[in-house]
Structures are given as structure tokens and as C-alpha cells.
Amino acid sequence: MTSIIESHAPLFGRNSRAFLRPRQSIVEAALANSFIFLHKEERDFILDQSEYVTLSHKEVLLAEGFHNESMYIVTEGEFRVEQAKGPVGGTFYRLELARLRPGAVFGEMSFLNKDGASATISAVGESEVLLVKSSVITALIDTIVGFDGRFYKSLAVMLSRRSIGAGSLQI
């Protein structure tokens, strides 16, 4: 006969729901706060169809100028946002613009305008993101009437909040 502890041991492993709950609640809150006009079922679909990516210290997730078709949500750790500047004395340097912590959403600008990333994003220590591929968003746009309006309206509000928070002039 198997004891209760032995039969329930897998529940406490790395892939158990109990272990994933804090990470999942960060992602669910980030999706709800950033994509405020989406229905819960749409946000759940995005979450279910996305993947977690772990990066080591100083590993680059997005390189400035490179094409990006994904959006990201920081789930663990911290990411550095840097841009190339210069030259100063003939030498280019990198300017740190921000730090992204759990719950931060990024990658939406290059996702929207299909241009290269405007900054380099790299991990500070071991860090993790939820990667939301454009194909997931496209599938929802193609199958759910009104999703595109709710999605792009949510992005507009998110970007407006970010620009106001960065001290931009609001007219």
C-alpha cells in the first residue's frame, strides 16, 4: 500500500500547480492590467498558448535593431533595457534606460510596427519571461469577432500609460 506522502509527492515538484501558482498569478495580473479590454477567456488562451523562457545572467533576449514578432511578460528576475549611444571620443557606449521586473510587459512596439527592436533587453541574473508569439494573437484576430479592436485598444492604453509614466507631455 502506498502512503499518502508517497502518492502525493509529485504535487510538490517543480511542475506542480502549487509551485506554478505565484508565477501564474503574476502573469494573469500582468495580462489583466495590460490587456484591460480583452475577455478573461481570451487572456487565458494567450496564457495557455505561450511559453516560458529562462535566461541566464547577461543573456540577450532581444537585440536592438533585430526584428521581433513577440511580446514578453517578465515572470521572474529582472531585465536590463539598454540602447546604443555615441560616439563619445570615437567610442560607442550602451545607456541603461530601465529595469523590468515581474509583471512588466515589453516587445509590443516592435510587435506593432514590425520594425527592429528599439533597445536591447538582457537578463540580470537568472530571469524568466512568458513569450507570447504573434501567431497566438493572429489566431485570435482571425477567429474571434471584435478581438482585434479590444487588443489594439488595450495596447493603446498600455502605451499611453507608459508614456505618461515616463514624464511625456500629455496634451
The domain limits of the chain are 4-163
Q: Which of 71, 2, 63 is nearest to 43 (CA)?
A: 71
Residue 69's pLDDT is what? 87
Distances in whole angstroms, Cα of residue 46 to Cα of each of 25, 73, 108, 143, 160 = 14, 12, 15, 13, 22
CA dihedral 132, 68, 101, 139 (to 10 degrees): -20
Best CATH choice for the domain 4-163 from the list 2.60.120.10, 3.40.605.10, 3.30.70.141, 3.40.50.720: 2.60.120.10
Q: How many CB atoms lie within 10 A of CB 23?
A: 15
> What's the confidence (pLDDT) of residue 91?
80
- What b-and-e string marks burial along 162-171, b requiring 16 or more CB atoms within 10 Å of the CB? eeeeeeeeee
pLDDT at 19: 46
For 145, the grid coordinates are 469577432
The rounded Cα 168 to chain-centroid distance in angstroms is: 23
- pLDDT of the residue at 161: 86
The pLDDT value recorded for residue 165 is 66
Q: What is the C-alpha to C-alpha distance for residues 81 and 118, in angstroms, rounded to an integer?
A: 10
pLDDT at position 171 is: 42
CB 145 within 8 A of CB 104: no
Q: pLDDT tens per residue, the chain (171 residues)?
A: 333 333 333 333 344 444 456 778 888 899 999 999 999 999 999 999 999 999 999 999 999 989 888 999 999 999 999 998 877 777 888 899 999 999 999 988 888 887 888 899 999 999 999 999 999 999 999 999 999 999 999 999 998 888 776 655 444
